[in-house]
Amino acid sequence: MSLWLILGIVLALLIAAVALYLFTARRYQSSDSVANSYDQWTEDGILEFYWGEHIHLGHYGSPPQRKDFLTAKADFVHEMVRWGGLDQLAPGTTVLDVGCGIGGSSRILARDYGFAVTGITISPQQVKRAQELTSNELDVRFQVDDAMSMSFPDASFDVVWSIEAGPHMPDKAVFAKELMRVLKPGGILVVADWNQRDARQTPLNGWERSVMRQLLDQWSHPEFASIEGFAEQLAATGFVAGEVITADWAEATLPSWLDSIWQGVARPEGLVRFGVPGLVKSLREVPTLLLMRLAFGTGLCRFGMFRAVRNRGYGAS
């Protein structure tokens, strides 16, 4: 095969990927658009192949250290457990994993900490795959549920846990109230999320608004909250005892974006497994990943951590 033919094939693939990126944006329309997006990502298996069982960012330390991509993702779960004080809780503690994906975090919480975990996602295909990946020996179950209107009674869980689900929620105040509603009095909420800079303090300029529009439209996000704004919405539920504790883990998670792109280079067997259509689908995500790296690296986006304790008064049952 001549060099010119190879270059021509590569160029054609890049053009196809760019065309997919430009003309097939996955804009948020309803919870169905989110469910459909995750169903497709789960069915084709590409996301799981490159990102593993944890469909969230990794934790590389602060300052960040070189680390295996998949190891960093598992480390994130343990770091979040410690940050939230969940490592002090007894085995058998009931945990609701909101936006559980294919169950990676749920399995760690059950296996390594002895928690009884219920994972929910809006995607039926994610529930199916999570069940396939989970040993019957673990105290974990998965179900389809809408985080904006959960099927659980008030005060159902000792811990409510959520990683990177918030950007898919169209009304952050409703999301905040649902998270706190299902938490038992004295229970702990721990949330990790993609957030944007608080525009009330520093308004977004033209290029920042353009970048944010792409980050929303490409991955079925209606809106990013700010760390300050979501903390205020949690406090406004009336369920929080004391203050909402926050942190920004942007620095510790930042290497994930370029590492996720590097997986396509470091694991060429994916081309054999998924073929040319899979390669085009993978390349289609590269611009969004690069924009995410730009946004988090410049402070336009932040990685918010939230911890709140449910009070023993208002709304308790």
> How high is the pLDDT of residue 3?
55
What predicted TM-score, i.e. pTM, was given to this entire model?
0.91
d(CA 87, CA 115): 10
Task: Give residue-wise pLDDT tens across range 174-233.
Answer: 999 999 999 999 999 999 999 999 999 999 999 999 999 989 988 889 999 999 999 999
Q: Name the residue ranges covered by the structural domains of the chain.
A: 26-310
Task: Give residue-wise pLDDT tens across range 256-305.
Answer: 999 999 998 888 888 788 887 887 788 888 888 998 999 999 999 999 99
DSSP string, 195-217: EE--TTTS---HHHHHHHHHHHH
- SS3 label, residue 59: coil
List residues bridging with 163 in a β-sheet. 192
Strand 301-310 with 240-248, pairing: antiparallel
Task: Give residue-wise pLDDT tens across range 268-277.
Answer: 888 788 887 8
What kind of architecture, by CATH, is found in domain 26-310? Answer: 3-Layer(aba) Sandwich (3.40)
- Spell out a b/e string for 292-312, using b for 16 or more CB atoms within 10 Å of the CB, else e: bbebbeeebbbbbbbbbbbbe
Residue 196 near residue 167, CB atoms below 8 Å: no
Q: How many CB atoms lie within 10 A of CB 35?
A: 20
Does the structure show a pLDDT above 60 at 314?
Answer: no
Percent of the chain scoring above 70 in pLDDT? 91
d(CA 287, CA 143): 32
Locus of tokens 């811990």: 159
Closest CA to 106 of 152, 74, 144: 74
